[in-house]
Structure 1
Amino acid sequence: MTSLNENARSRDARVQPVSELAARLAREVQGEVLFDHASRGRYSTDASIYQAMPIGVVVPRDQHDLRRALDIARDARVPVLARGAGTSQCGQTVGEAVILDASRWLNRIVEFDPEARTVVVEPGIVLDHLNAWLKPHGLWYPVDVSTSAQCTLGGMAGNNSCGSRSIRYGNMVHNVLGLDAILADGSEGHFGFVDRLPDTGRVRELADRVRAVADGVAEEIRGHFPRVLRRVGGYNLDLFDCQNPMPYDPDARPNLAHLLVGSEGTLAVTQRLTLRLSPLPEHKVLGVVNFPTFYQAMDVTQHIVTLDPTAVELVDRTMIELSLENPAFRPVIEKALIGRPQAVLLVEFAGQEREALLASLARLNELMADLGLPGSVVDMPEPAEQKALWNVRKAGLNIMMSMKGDAKPVSFIEDCAVPLEHLAEYTDKLTEVFHRHGTEGTWYAHASVGTLHVRPILDMRRGGAEKMREIAEQASALVREYKGAYSGEHGDGLCRGEWVAWQFGSAVNDAFKEVKRLFDPNNRLNPGKIVDTPRMDDERYFRFPRHYQRIPLTPAFDWSAWNVRRDPRSGELSAPGSGDDLTHGLAMAVEMCNNNGHCRKFDAGTMCPSYRVTRAEQHLTRGRANTLRLVLSGQLGDEGLAGDAVKEALDLCVSCKGCRRDCPTGVDMAKFKIEARAARVRARGLALRDRLVGELPRYAPWASRLSGLLGAVQRLPVVSRRVKRALGLAEQRDFPRFRGNFLAEAHAPSAQGSREVVLFVDTFNNYMENDIARAARRVLEAAGYRVHLNVTPGERPLCCGRTYLSSGQFDKARAEARRALDHLLPYVERGVPIVGLEPSCLLSMRDEFLQYGFGEAARGLAESALLFEEFLVRARAAGELPLALKPVGHARALLHGHCHQKAFDALRPVETVLSWIPGLAVETIDSSCCGMAGSFGYEAEHYGTSMQMAELSLLPAVRAAGEDTVIVADGTSCRHQIHDGSGRRAVHVALLLEQALA
């Protein structure tokens, strides 16, 4: 294996054979074959600290594709690496090999037997998707890892994953009954219970020879394999020793599939998995125990597990503080806290009888009182609050990685497992180790089984590798002292592979090598993992080695807030040193992506709509962030942000800002896209279509006067099609309709009102849907407000600059923002709220305006800027909204939230305002982006993708709505997409409230 930079230098020497391999794969495989440098770069990392450029990537469409790709790679004598979601923490899924990505298409449920409680699945199926499918049958697959929304079952088997509830259900190895796999020589076979294997054949031969290897080191296995549940290092050669089986494995007889579980793809490539299922608990209760010291939390865990909980999970002070900084997590974590605890334990009880579980929760409270901590438990018996808090815990890794600056929590000793009776002492001594090296550690996860995810905070660019080695050696000594396991959950990979021999001894390590030789004599299946691995601190494989450089550039936005240094001990942030380039803030913001793949989820939340449609790594927030990181470090040529690789990666990004909210590390791809568009426009100029989009606020007054002529063009099909083709617009879309100029007609403020408000009427609601602006003004006046408007007689109406941003005209966008700020600042200084109707426009004041470099003035405006519904909810809470409302003739409101409303947690106020209308039941569609996304859905090349996004959940829900249902959508683009896709008219909340005025 070679590092990415070395590979980039050496790839010319092997272009011919690689090009032949790529060509053959493209001819004979139906799925995707990706050998371009950008695609390879996107697959060069996982969620670890490592990076290695693959030879190429194949995304098989079916099992035939998988077999064919393996045959072709074997003929070419190149290594292969099977990969799922790429969420591995230890570098298992990176390497100089042909990557086989099973996650896109190899994800079927093949067989299901509810009576036997078994299911057969392909390796690319995601855990949450499987459990959602099983839920109606009252079953689930209980190895519930924190990455359940994105991890694949094949990847979980490769790592021998464990999960939060392993104290009740065991690890992956205890819940896999069989595996169908392809071996290195191309033969296929079923790996299962040894006593059921055929008497002849390749699998039987391997079983017999592996047994002989295990028998040869039987005493060493008994002496060196840690007797703790959380032991996932090396190969499971103890599978033949069933005299003392773990309580989670009721079969108690050898199963050859268990040798493949935890083998990290080094022995075979999985085709299908046969899984043991468990009954789904009908009820759960949760107790959150608050501790004044971290040590107490660790010491008490051994007593809590005697109550037979299903999970005991740790959240430390660092994770609490970072959660409080995240607007999505803050209200959830606050409910779980009593004062300022240094740590909390999430203690869950699950079962079929709720009363019994409540009794267990009461016993937890009694236990804590007996241990000297009365009143330390927050009871959470209801499912909604439990789910919300578990979601915070599941985001633990990403929350930890949301620290700004180059120093990050680094994974290398995070899975050490020790017996519970030693947990407090082990964590105390390990903390002393961190302090000796001038750093702190972040702690969270599986206290119930003695496996805490601890990550020392290190800067890998500045001496971090040396500290990592020293800390690992001292931590390993503690693990040995307490008879624990060095690798307790996330496997070996590049991070812990060199410690396999240390943990198991030379004789067992030699046996591991013999097993590898039996299965893969030519070392082509994920080489360099488990046996013959590199050193953990070999910088050739680091994503951020000491020689890592960022290219010089001048970003459009002010990214200085990201260009900081963090003190590893105190956590204090400081400005960069004098030698630092202030433009590095942009690169550091991009590098906030830790590759954990949280963005791969698509059953909840808002991100990532383009990935939901394509299932392609290129169109994923993580894939885009990796592309940008490679570009900004000079690893994808010298064109920088203006290059084709960036354009292609961001092509389907609809700037929904779902990642801004849903990504726990706060990656804001929409803002990165603004930077990239601005750079490309500076380098290559502006296309006519983009100019039309950007200049909309300037020509809208003229278009409104010529609305009749524009309507006539639309009604002439031949002319309309030619114009749209010339502009690159989708022929299926109608031209926008201009309908007057509200601000020109009503620029004067209200004549009366005891309180003041500024109604910021954007371009769309001024010239295209001005009935919404009239309705909003009437509602505000009815509530007793004197309404000012964002226009001065004789001047062009104010604009947020959003259309300029989306078209790459950054300087014009900033100028518009400056003009708006200067006009609105006197109102802000008087405490007058600024209220907007179009989410993307108004929320620009709370987002992009803050990075223009406007200073305190912009912050003042951001605090005063409210969406229409946010303002109404706040006013009503203050007793300043005397509105009398009547029914509007609809029994139900079906609400679709604008993406930016969701990103800023501004959808709940819409639901609240709608609930004020008598007789109106409100239902919110669980939808992502509508797909229109400003001009995106109008662009000919994006029309198909736009409609696919709408068809995911929005349009089916709208079509299913009855005639007595009113469709509500605050976004202009959303309303147009709903009309184009369903024929239904959606309305802004302001229109409904106007109808409801008594």
Structure 2
Amino acid sequence: MTTKAIHFAPTHARGTSPLAKRLRKELRGDVLFGNADRGRYATDASIYQIMPIGVVVPRDQADLLLCLDIARSENAPVLARGGGTSQCGQTVGEALVIDSSKWLNNIVDFDPEKRTVTVEPGMVLDHLNAWLKPHGVWFPVDVSTAAQCTIGGMAGNNSCGSRSIEYGNMVHNVLAIDAVLADGTQGRFETLPNMVQTARLQNIVQRLQRIATREQQEIIERVPKVLRRVGGYNIDLFDCQNPRNYTDDGSANLAHILVGSEGTLAFSRQLTLKLAPLPKHKVLGVINFPTFYKGMDAAQHIVKLNPTAVELVDRTMIDLSLNNPAFRPVIEKALVGSPQAILLVEFAGDDKAALLEKLAALADLMSDLSLPGSVVNMVDANEQKSLWDVRKAGLNIMMSMKGDGKPVSFIEDCAVPLVHLAEYTDRLTEVFHKYHTEGTWYAHASVGTLHVRPILDMRRDGAASMRKIAEEASALVREYKGAYSGEHGDGLCRGEWVAWQYGPHINHAFSEIKNLFDPDNRFNPDKIVRPPKMDDKSNFRFAPGYQELPVKTQMDWSAWDVTRDPASGLETAPGTGNDRTGGLAKAVEMCNNNGHCRKFDAGTMCPSYRITKDEKHLTRGRANTLRLALSGQLGAEGLASQDVKDTLDLCVSCKGCKRDCPTGVDMAKMKIEARAAWVNKHGSTLREKMIAFMPRYAPLASTIGGLLAMGNDIPVLSNWLKNRLGLAQQRAFPRFQRSFLSRRKNAQHTATGKEVLLFVDTFNNYMEPENAAAAQAVLEAAGYTVHFNVQAGERPLCCGRTYLSAGMVEQAKQEARRTLDALKPFVERGVAIVGLEPSCLLSLRDEFLDYGYGEEARKLADRAYLFEEFLVHEHAAGRLALDLKPLASPKAMVHGHCHQKAFDAVHPVQTVLKWIPQLDVAVIESSCCGMAGSFGYEAEHYAASQAMGELSLFPAIRQAESGTIFVADGTSCRHQIADGTQESAIHVARVLAAALQED
């Protein structure tokens, strides 16, 4: 029911305590007690960091129960964790972390008639809804982190989502929880008539009822009367005046005391959820407001039309979207003039005509509010989805801010009655200005919960400002009778405000409840009850004394070493030149632990996590490891440490994170620095040198290709060589051919003719020269004079990527310098530099800019195109036309190279293929093919390489129709497809060349 993980045993499981020894001996799952492993679980998406005792990843329910038994007998505290995306510090603490996301993620039961489903706590929301969709139902608590958050975590936080005005929060949608108490008692928490009440559970029920009865008046007076209130425990579950705590038969549900308890009362083994029918139709009305205040004031009137969602996007988010090439065309369709805010108002149901009537009613309402013509209707489902994607990306765009000042989450979930929303936001903005900062508003206008994060520097004076802003914000919330915790829970940043919100009587009742369930305070201790101060700096990720180790970087990281004016959000002192201090550390710190890299939907990131489901092999896990290493928390070796090498071991440098990560964490570039540090300290292996220096010895290899072929043709010799070099026995050695460029020379420049330089890389020059020949044929057929990246008597120009993969940055820089000098005359007269191999050509647009070569590197990057990009560019300019004929095959399937995806360069492949008459073109939705340069050739990585291919690429090719043309521009991709499927893939240039009309 979910994608299963391949198990790669942890290389470091230190820890010599009796607890660690017993867990390793008795459990079948992962037991992680090394410093780096613990460090990767010491943070979530909050500002906090607390090192856990250790980490266990149970393989199944039996493993989980055994783990809990061992922890109890060793008196170890326990902390449940799913996706680790909590924003308040709920999933960090000095405890044994139990991660349910890798294996405890199954669907246990599904009843389509009753519309219920039972899942294990590690089930990801999007995975669940994808499984449910064919059945016409869904779990409607649709939080923005749906691609990575787990159901267990959602229940722990009492999560809400954009459509809570229609479907409610988690507490409204959880029917039962099978849980384990701290003393080992197992029970099913559900409606009272259905509960099997053992003596222990009967005592809990009776005590809870007595507490609720005793505090009834306090509950009436103190519990906020807003939908979005998730602080403390749901002590009002017996309140007959509150229908949210009752099922259809009117009985209280004891599962609701566990929902929102943040794992402090019990460990949820599995959860039974209430499902909703999928609406057949949705329509969206986008209201444009001339002022932010008017938008907030209108919300109270809009909800009377019974929408399923009313979501805010403010002016800051609009501007950020307009500056993003992917979002600009989407947001432009929603705007009327230059609004200061827009509200996305959704109506859903089975009768489309009725929904259109609601859109008309919305327009009438806006006219009555003196805003005629302010509504943009979106009826098309694709347009709606695109705009919702922009809204969901709002926080991530905001969190991509460079520098030490970051938007900090601590008051973003305050919820107030809608009648006060406009005034509340106006006054809170004044508070921000008082403390010389700004905040950006977004999210749930339908229920009075607007997310806002003031920009604070938590390395310096941010904690003091956070305290002052929180105190003034809480006063406003109390004045408007709202809830201080409205969505994301209490954790460490709002825990101390539970007592403020509910008063001493209910706060004491919370302590009684905690003691009733967990008298030894072992389950997620010091959350909700007896929490620390929100500004206890010892719990901060950047605790007092935090500093980076001195690092001499090989690449330029100065763009991240900036300071920022918190009031304006503008950079005030951008770094310049090559960084030798903090730029790399600040680039690593761009990871805010939101966990977006854990997603399994379309996109490249993160292929190694997709096959292992290990935090260690996740972009977030790697970034945390690098941050710990750079700050000396893993020892004095820093980037050259074994921990860093291990955590980057399965990183295939796909650059998926460069594009897919919301904050732009470029782990491929960071790996270059780490490899360079390792090589500088430990040296290079023979295999690494052989791969790195391939461009140097390729000319010789091409002349003795027949002799080298014996490495494949004589098994005894082949096996010996592979064992000696550490290469996979299943792979064949590359076959060198006569150099394509050795038979070419540059043509004379003519001032009036069209010309282009074809940059033929090492692989297409010496191993697949037919690709270069095809590209030349296509370009010449289009009327271009073709020059080449070779000079008389010299080795062909090279991008230097093989050196980068081996950590030999200086050699890569030398190749870049040679290339810049040779191509300068072409660049200066505006000749396009066109390449065939994505990883090679795109180095000219990426790594070349990080070597310190300044404007000349920038000019080359501006003229560098992939083959298909150049064709599309010239065609759009009216300078290119190709006379193409239909091919024998009617269908082509495209696999995009990871670097093509990172630079959004897959679409041009589709475009040029569609120029071929009658050719049906489809793109394979895949992550990394798994070959990734030399990665798939390495013996220790062969299994991982094949597993990556099996995720989606190999199955798609095997299931394709006979005769389909498989197109892959990457050399590695073509070899991986051949080895994994026994099918041949070809470069797009060869497809176009085959379609050229003969003269």
TM superposition score category, shorter chain reference = over 0.9
> CA offset at residue 546 of structure 1?
4.2
Distance 2:644 2:15 in 1: 27
Verify: 1:455 aligned to 2:453, yes or no: yes
Determine helix, strand or coil for the equivalent of 2:454.
Answer: strand
Counterpart position of 1:175? 173
Distance 2:833 2:371 in 1: 48
Counterpart position of 1:904? 903
Verify: 1:491 aligned to 2:489, yes or no: yes
Counterpart position of 2:673? 675
> CA offset at residue 388 of structure 1?
2.3
User: 2:742 aligned to 738, 741, 744, which one?
Assistant: 744
Counterpart position of 2:298? 300
Counterpart position of 1:829? 828
Within 5 Å, which residues of 2 pair with 1:161-310? 161-198=159-196, 200-246=198-244, 250-310=248-308
User: 2:29 aligned to 31, 38, 46, which one?
Assistant: 31
Query: Match for 1:902: what amino acid?
Result: K
Distance 1:494 1:18 in 2: 29
Verify: 1:879 aligned to 2:892, yes or no: no
Distance 1:979 1:274 in 2: 45
Counterpart position of 1:949? 948
Distance 1:842 1:995 in 2: 24
Q: Residues 786-842 of structure 1, C-alpha deviation per residue, up to 9 Å, x if partnerless?
A: 111111111111111111111111001011111112222222222221111111111
CA shift in 2, pair 1:96/1:979, >3 Å: same
User: 1:414 aligned to 412, 418, 426, which one?
Assistant: 412
Distance 1:691 1:359 in 2: 69
Deviates more, 1:321-330 or 1:490-499: 321-330
Distance 1:374 1:729 in 2: 70
Deviates more, 1:881-890 or 1:46-55: 881-890
The alignment of Structure 1 onto Structure 2 pairs a total of residues equal to 983
Query: Match for 1:526: what amino acid?
Result: N
Counterpart position of 1:992? 991
Query: Match for 2:175: what amino acid?
Result: L
Counterpart position of 1:7? none
Distance 1:325 1:564 in 2: 20
Counterpart position of 2:552? 554
Q: Residues 146-176 of structure 1, C-alpha deviation per residue, up to 9 Å, x if partnerless?
A: 0000000000000000000001000000000
Contact 1:869 1:909 in 2 (8 A): yes
CA shift in 2, pair 1:87/1:342, >3 Å: same
CA shift in 2, pair 1:17/1:781, >3 Å: closer
Verify: 1:362 aligned to 2:355, yes or no: no
Distance 2:640 2:284 in 1: 51
Contact 1:197 1:204 in 2 (8 A): no
User: 1:730 aligned to 724, 728, 751, which one?
Assistant: 728
Counterpart position of 1:809? 808
Counterpart position of 2:343? 345
> CA offset at residue 18 of structure 1?
5.4
Counterpart position of 1:704? 702
Q: Residues 384-410 of structure 1, C-alpha deviation per residue, up to 9 Å, x if partnerless?
A: 222222223223332221000000000
Query: Match for 1:135: what amino acid?
Result: K
Determine helix, strand or coil for the equivalent of 1:493.
Answer: coil
Counterpart position of 1:935? 934
Q: Is there any run of 5+ residues in structure 2 with no aligned partner, and where?
A: 1-12
Query: Match for 2:977: what amino acid?
Result: I
Determine helix, strand or coil for the equivalent of 1:962.
Answer: coil
Counterpart position of 2:10? none
Distance 1:324 1:629 in 2: 32
> CA offset at residue 237 of structure 1?
0.7
Determine helix, strand or coil for the equivalent of 1:606.
Answer: coil
Distance 1:31 1:750 in 2: 67
Distance 1:693 1:84 in 2: 40
Determine helix, strand or coil for the equivalent of 2:243.
Answer: coil
Counterpart position of 1:478? 476
Query: Match for 1:157: what amino acid?
Result: A
Counterpart position of 1:818? 817
Distance 1:212 1:127 in 2: 36
Distance 2:315 2:584 in 1: 29
Query: Match for 1:834: what amino acid?
Result: I
Q: Residues 353-378 of structure 1, C-alpha deviation per residue, up to 9 Å, x if partnerless?
A: 22322332333333333333333333
Deviates more, 1:210-219 or 1:617-626: 210-219
Query: Match for 1:904: what amino acid?
Result: F
Within 5 Å, which residues of 2 pair with 1:616-635? 616-635=614-633
Determine helix, strand or coil for the equivalent of 2:442.
Answer: strand
Determine helix, strand or coil for the equivalent of 2:286.
Answer: strand
Q: Residues 319-343 of structure 1, C-alpha deviation per residue, up to 9 Å, x if partnerless?
A: 3333344454444334433444322
Determine helix, strand or coil for the equivalent of 1:233.
Answer: coil
> CA offset at residue 199 of structure 1?
5.0
Contact 1:328 1:905 in 2 (8 A): no
Contact 2:564 2:573 in 1 (8 A): no
Query: Match for 1:37: what amino acid?
Result: N
Within 5 Å, which residues of 2 pair with 1:476-875? 476-575=474-573, 583-749=581-747, 754-875=753-874
Q: Is there any run of 5+ residues in structure 1 with no aligned partner, and where?
A: 1-14
Deviates more, 1:848-857 or 1:152-161: 848-857
Counterpart position of 2:5? none
Contact 1:62 1:105 in 2 (8 A): yes
Determine helix, strand or coil for the equivalent of 1:395.
Answer: helix
Deviates more, 1:202-211 or 1:514-523: 202-211
Q: Residues 544-598 of structure 1, C-alpha deviation per residue, up to 9 Å, x if partnerless?
A: 13432111111111110100011111121022699x9852010000000000100
> CA offset at residue 201 of structure 1?
3.0
Contact 2:928 2:949 in 1 (8 A): yes
Determine helix, strand or coil for the equivalent of 1:654.
Answer: coil
**Over 6 Å off, 4+ runs:** 750-753
Contact 1:462 1:546 in 2 (8 A): no
Determine helix, strand or coil for the equivalent of 1:369.
Answer: helix
User: 1:428 aligned to 426, 429, 433, which one?
Assistant: 426
Distance 2:177 2:70 in 1: 23
Contact 2:156 2:258 in 1 (8 A): yes
Distance 1:40 1:24 in 2: 18
Distance 2:951 2:325 in 1: 27
**RMSD (Å), alpha carbons:** 1.7
Counterpart position of 1:20? 18
Determine helix, strand or coil for the equivalent of 1:366.
Answer: helix
CA shift in 2, pair 1:812/1:537, >3 Å: same
Contact 2:538 2:544 in 1 (8 A): no
Identity of aligned residues (%): 69
Counterpart position of 2:889? 890
Distance 2:320 2:446 in 1: 23
Distance 1:603 1:102 in 2: 20
> CA offset at residue 712 of structure 1?
1.8
Contact 1:410 1:458 in 2 (8 A): yes
Counterpart position of 1:10? none
CA shift in 2, pair 1:762/1:485, >3 Å: same
Q: Residues 683-733 of structure 1, C-alpha deviation per residue, up to 9 Å, x if partnerless?
A: 111111111111111111111111101112211111101001101111100
Distance 2:902 2:355 in 1: 36
Query: Match for 1:548: what amino acid?
Result: Y
> CA offset at residue 878 of structure 1?
1.2
Distance 1:200 1:712 in 2: 74
Deviates more, 1:935-944 or 1:246-255: 246-255
Query: Match for 1:891: what amino acid?
Result: P
Counterpart position of 1:43? 41
Contact 2:191 2:251 in 1 (8 A): yes
Distance 2:483 2:575 in 1: 41
TM-score, normalised to structure 1, is 0.97
Distance 2:339 2:768 in 1: 52
Contact 1:728 1:940 in 2 (8 A): yes
Distance 2:901 2:197 in 1: 60
Distance 2:575 2:948 in 1: 45
